[in-house]
């Protein structure tokens, strides 16, 4: 049983006392990602579609660093500040999977880091 810390410069650096991901016994736990551009460090949130794509690209970069892809994802949690915008996020989120969807919950919250609209965390194995 070993714990491995995983970070990549292809995803935004953590903005607090946490790591991008931790692998334990073959399971990868990815911290919630927001729409920070890993190159500029700026929010990529001109609209909700762009924001969601950036979140998914950040998650993809972390999965890739671990040698995984979206097909390895077991569970996700989506945090939204407005559940009325769920369909917009869901369309983009779903486009990153090929039909073998993970388990998921979506939760409305009052606020997210840097006051973004969406944050997504994942658990993957492989």
Distance CA 58, CA 33 (A): 7
Whether pTM exceeds 0.75: yes
pLDDT digits (tens, 9 = 90+) for 62-98: 999 999 999 999 999 999 999 999 999 999 999 999 9
In 7-102, beta strands by DSSP E: 21-24, 27-33, 73-80
> Which of the following CATH numbers is that of domain 3-125: 3.30.1330.40, 1.20.120.790, 1.10.10.10, 3.40.50.720?
3.30.1330.40
Q: What is the pLDDT of residue 61?
A: 98
pLDDT of residue 19: 97
Question: To 10 degrees, the CA torsion angle through 71, 57, 75, 32?
Answer: 160
Q: How far apart are CA 92 and CA 125, in angstroms?
A: 22
At residue 2, the pLDDT reads 87
- Statement: residue 14 has pLDDT above 80: yes
Domain boundaries, the chain: 3-125
Q: How many CB atoms lie within 10 A of CB 56?
A: 21
pLDDT digits over 23-50, tens only? 999 999 999 999 999 999 999 999 999 9
């Amino acid at each position: 049983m070993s714990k491995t810390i995983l970070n990549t410069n292809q995803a935004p650096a953590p903005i607090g006392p946490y790591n991008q991901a931790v692998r334990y016994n073959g399971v990868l736990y990815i911290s919630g990602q927001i729409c920070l551009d890993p190159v500029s460090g700026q929010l990529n949130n001109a609209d909700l579609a762009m924001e969601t794509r950036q979140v998914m690209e950040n998650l993809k970069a972390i999965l890739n660093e671990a040698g995984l892809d979206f097909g390895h994802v077991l569970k996700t949690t989506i945090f939204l500040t407005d559940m009325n915008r769920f369909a917009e996020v869901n369309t983009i989120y779903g486009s990153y999977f090929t039909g073998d969807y993970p388990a998921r919950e979506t939760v409305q919250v009052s606020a997210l880091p840097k006051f973004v609209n969406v944050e997504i965390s994942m658990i993957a194995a492989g």
